[in-house]
Structure 1
Amino acid sequence: MTNQNAKNRRIFGRVPVILVAVLAALALVLAGCGTDEDDGTVTMARANWNSGHMQAAIYAQLLGELGYEVSDPAENTRDPNGFYPALASGQFDLWVNGWFPLHDIYLEGERVTGETLELPIEPVGYQVRSGALQGYMIDKATADAMGITSMSQLANASVARVFDHDGDGLADLIGCNDGWGCQTVIDSHIADLDWGDNVEQISGDYNSLVAGVRESIAAGEPVLFYAWTPNWTYEVLTPGEQVVWLESPVLDDEEGTTEVRGLRGCASDPCNLGWAVSSIRAVGNEDFLDDNDAVRRLLEVVTIPLEDIAAQNAKMAAAELGYSESQINADAADWIEANRDTVDGWLATARG
């Protein structure tokens, strides 16, 4: 595409270059890597988005009940860029924050390096099956005033400039952290979709960026941002009231359904978000899973309702003084006790 902003080009190149270097190195060592025989320990990591932290604590506590000594996931917080190569090399045994198909790029070496790498990584079970949404939102006031319902309308430069806050003539799309899969996908959208010439992604700490989104909306200023569920933003920025979803064209190679029925805050039903509806899954090192059948069986059966995740995320967001690890662990323990009968069934299945 033409008129691609230099900032976008820098952002676009960063993640794949890192992955190419790391995964190419892994290709040389994976044949000799792997986890040891079952020694009763699990080394867990967790994602660096806090909307997945309670779930990591739930799994860690369940593995503890199963009799394993589990590392504290909070001590191994990673972005996907750092986690998946470390998982493949055996540094970690698992995490429970995989988003698929968004994270397919980390499993399929050919898409990253140009060659096929047999990475010993395996998604297991469905914490949330086909319930995790992603897409683009704007403030409702601007949507109503200008009749904006689709990202394609930003192909009109005059419409896109409404969301330009740094004066370069391009709409500022509040996006994802460096190293997140969604950052790469947004860059692909900017490069290949009809609205991309007039939009640039603003990357940084997502929670801080969305705090700025809330301030802009409160001040009556137009704002364009990436959003996902489950996430605390969905609780404090109510679709259909403060914000609306925008439809978007779909990349030719997008896998999975991108249409969502009955989506509050979207002008169309079904609403085509342009992003595949995702499933949240545990992901483990294959050698570790093969040596630990009980862990595999547990990961296969655990599910956590989307509404429970959203409620805890909203609780974190409402905490004025921040939210501690002890509070997250307490939320996980409370959830387990509230679902004790179901949990005991999972543990029985895992024990075989």
Structure 2
Amino acid sequence: MRILHLLSQLELTGAESYAITLAERQIECGHRVFVVSDTLNMNTQAKYLRLEFNKRGILDRYNHIRFLTDFIRREKVDVVHSHSRASSWSGHISSRLCRTPHFTSVHQILPGGLSKRFLPCLGDVSFAICENAKKAIIENYGFPPYRIKVIRNAVDLNRFIIRELPGGELNIAIVGRYSGPKGKVLIWYLREVISKVDEKVKPFNLLIVGRQVDEIVREVENISSCLRACRLKQLGFVDDIEKVYKKTAIVIGAGRVAVEAILSGRCVLALGERGFLGLVKRENLYDMERSSFGDCLFEDEFNVDFAVNETIFAIENYMDIINHKRKLVEKVKELHDAEIIEAQINDVYRRLLHKRGQQS
């Protein structure tokens, strides 16, 4: 097949990691893959073309659609797969004009509205990364449940493997994207939780990993000056995230960060855009997965006392937690194996192509 992935981001996002992991697996399976996006931060074998989806004026949208329709027809694209709201709008219209199947992946709780019910732009089939994202699509967009499938973040199991714990000082990493709401979550965790944990535990390093935002950097510096046991270190964006997991014992994050860290054999505290869910265990894995580890909750869940207690417990018991993680790791592999997920998505592609008589 000839597959076109559409993205719209100005920095590395979970959607980009998802799309590129999927694209690489599709290429390994013999498909021709293209990626169109504002920017691209990850390396890929797919052919990349730049298009500024984040420019959303009427003339900009017209130019996006014209570019995509010309490209789809010229390259004889079989499938269009969008990974963001901005790209799915143009992808929806372009694919309709070209009579090409359109699929979307939804990575968050999408807010509703009358215009979105009238023109949802969610494609012929929508892939939700978790059950809560699916529920929001149904309730906020009125989208038929039979056209939505829960297909979780795809992760390369050859890349993220269990590694020995590092010696020396305890390193904890908090990993994410710190523009927008996630920056506010980081500051909440440092100010409300770490400041209290700091009084009760032995010294440790807290590595803050993600693209630096000036306002957040200044806030972190101010908080750091008031801490005793916790040494905050702002690493900024790290291209090779495996190196971060390799030198840490505890990882704090949500979405694919939580999944990658579990697969790397690390103790994981789920802290997402909408809440702190605590220590990830085999017993609560499915509850964590429903919200993509705290990113896709319908109401905010930031309980300071719970967060403090869970963080202290992780710091004091991380060795035992890690030594008993094998069943958790095996279950996460089953849910997030890129090879399995590519096959599931490919099957949906082919069924619709076959139905339309366009199988290539």
TM superposition score normalised by structure 1:
0.35
